Homo-oligomer: A and B are copies of this chain.
Amino acid sequence: MQWVKVLGGVVGAAALLGLGIIVGHFAIPKGADSPAPSASASQDLDLKILETVIEQLDANRIRENLRELSKEPHLATTPRDEALVQLLLQRWQDPESGLDSARTTEYEVLLSFPSGEQPNRVAVVNSTGAILFSCRHSEENLTGEQGGPNVVPPYAAYAPPGTPQGPLVYANQGSEEDFKELQNKGVKLQDSIVLTRYGGVGRGAKAVNAAKYGVAGVLVYTDPKDINDGKSLPNETFPHSWCLPPSGVERGSYFEYFGDPLTPYLPAMPSSFRLNSDNASGFPPIPIQPIGFEDAQVLLCQVNVSVHNRLELRNSSNVLGIIRGAVEPDRYVLYGNHRDSWVHGAVDPSTGTAVLLELSRVLGTLLKKGTWRPRRSIVFASWGAEEFGLIGSTEFTEEFFSKLQERAVAYINVDISVFANATLRVQGTPPIQSVVFSAAKQISAPGSSGLSIYDNWIRYYNRSSSVYGLVPSVGTLGAGSDYAPFIHFLGISSMDIAYTYDRSKTSARIYPTYHTAFDTFDYVDKFLDPGFSSHQAVARTAGSVLLRLSDSLFLPLNVSDYSETLRSFLQAAEDLRVLLEQHGISLGPLVTAVERFEGAATAFNQRIATLREGTPDPLQVRMINDQLMLLERTFLNSQAFPEERYYSHVLWAPRTGSVATFPGLSNAYSQAKNTGHEPAAWAEVQRQLSIVVAALEGAAATLRPVADL
């Protein structure tokens, strides 16, 4: 059965539009034990300790962690989520393998749940309103883990309640273009129910786009072509393969922003000011409900959708564990992942938490034995309510804004640690490339290839660097997991580390059981990573990166690696030059600013090299490290994107324009071109250009010798 054809034939109009990919995923790591010798101020990374740590990271312990973590569904703020808070506290306070201290921080946040009494319903009705067919209320209980009161029924978190009814229209991915095309073809959208498939645009965007055309309600299904490489029959899907069963439904948050919806920019303390939920923005404007492809294929004619979701204020906890730095306790290397899942969440996020716990165990054990204490402080974090929109991590950055802005060296995120077994995949800002490469070169890749993780990686994802030649390609950070508030709101160098697919073998948008009740321990154990060697590889890579960041005398961040990004953005901007100049806008200052950054970064690296040759005193090292740490902050501008909540990084804000240049410039340029060349729109292009130039000049100034004028 060809899925797209069926749908295309029965329902509708735009089924042949492009196949898109959205990734909104998430994961944890594992633990260590006792106080250690007071390191000297000029002590560098101890390679023996590093080897010991890598050696001791145990695949089987990760597997046991995962089994425990994913034993029960642990939706944010439910009793099992709270039980895992206690589990983390217990591990991090263990006398043999715990950290220096651990505690929780609790926030009162607005979550959204299906009603306990009135299940959400999707039904086909005839002209008298009689029900001809009803979609499933829950997934099929294939392994005994899909039933029970703790499996939250499929729903779209933050979708408003409502019971719209109308003719069904297939709207592809629900993008702006999809609706425009339907309208152009004369398809009536007013008062219809549209059926969309996951992918292409964000979840909430489908409802936002639909509402503009008067659509009454939206359904979202997972297309087998997008998730299962086309497989859709029961005997070729889970539990017979890693593929999503016909009844599987992807849950998810449909909130447009991140953080607690009622307390933007403020920590969600019980006493904090809260927006009235009627005034809060970012919720889907119309009812929306996800369904499985089993149901999607039989929908037709008049459809009735009943959504009974409710907003609820809930207490959600983060768990924080710290290892105090021996030399520079006021410098923090953060390592985190979320804890909450949609159902059992074995892959998302427990593969990450299992790694987190193993890593904290190994480090904690060395600590408690007195073998080791890091130069800088290490902060482990287990975030709450990530699935609802990175809520725990965002509230944390709001509560400790100043402290983090002043002291955080880097943030390492390991959410889903294993998507698949093929290769390492890293997203991050350019300065973290070098430390990730160093770590990846040192560790063997899983399997029998005999290659290092680095050499294996380069086979799957690579690019030609003007500086280094062929290297693995490090991706950019969107807002798919808890790194988002760290990089976009606080300007902290961040990264996300995982093992992932061989793209020649699958085009799945993401691992098939993502956010469904089929994401269970056995799924990981049988299909994703039998033997847990990929988990171990991620633990070792992330652990090595963590130790290098916490223990190296000079921070292993290479600021010069930003130059390649800036050059590529600049090169893309050259395509805009003609039209910009027609509007009196010169790229000259941008060219100069990029050159100045490059010059300052190169000279800065030379000064570090010279210092390394001598015996730099501790304050000299500290000053250099402050420049390294704070470079990322210089790219923030709180005035740059007033409409984009939290986004202030002028290089990594969301880019909606088609030109792969600085996002503010790209977006303003697209806007100016699309709005008939209004002067105000071109003024905004110039403003965005000036913001980038000021940021780059400020970044260059930060890297110059500190007493230069």
Contacts and interface: CB of A to CB of B under 8 A. Distances in A.
Interface of A: 41, 100-103, 263, 265-267, 269, 271-273, 275-276, 320, 322, 324-325, 327-330, 377, 379, 398-403, 406-407, 586, 588-589, 617-619, 622-623, 626-627, 630, 633-634, 637-639, 683, 686-687, 689-691, 693-694, 697-699, 701-702, 705-709
Contact of A403 (B398, B618, B686, B702): B702
B698 A265 contact: no
For the complex of A and B, 6 pairs with smallest distance between CB atoms: A330-B706, A273-B690, A402-B634, A271-B589, A324-B707, A329-B707
21 contacts: A265-B639, A266-B690, A269-B690, A271-B589, A271-B690, A273-B689, A322-B707, A324-B707, A327-B619, A328-B619, A329-B705, A329-B706, A330-B626, A399-B698, A401-B698, A402-B634, A402-B699, A403-B701, A406-B633, A407-B706, A622-B622
Contacts of A691: 266, 273
Contact of A273 (B265, B269, B272, B683): B683
A675 to B, nearest CB: 17
Contact of A694 (B266, B618, B626): B266
A117 B381 CA distance: 70
Contacts of A617: 41, 618
Nearest to A330: B706
Nearest to A322: B709
Contacts of A327: 619
A442 to B, nearest CB: 28
A630 B694 CA distance: 23
Q: How many chain copies? A: 2
A440 to B, nearest CB: 30
A319 to B, nearest CB: 10
Most buried by B among A273, A634, A686: A273
Given A101-B709, A266-B687, A269-B690, 10 more contacts: A41-B618, A266-B691, A267-B694, A273-B687, A273-B691, A399-B694, A401-B698, A402-B634, A402-B699, A406-B630
Nearest to A635: B402
Nearest to A103: B709
Given A273-B690, A630-B406, A694-B398, A325 B707 contact: yes
A400 B698 contact: yes
Contacts of A623: 328-330
Nearest to A275: B683
B707 A100 contact: yes
A705 B330 CA distance: 9
A690 B617 CA distance: 43
B709 A403 contact: no
Contacts of A683: 273, 275-276
Contact of A271 (B325, B402, B693): B693
A376 to B, nearest CB: 10
Given A330-B626, A618-B619, A402 B690 contact: no
A402 B271 CA distance: 33
A537 to B, nearest CB: 30
Nearest to A637: B265
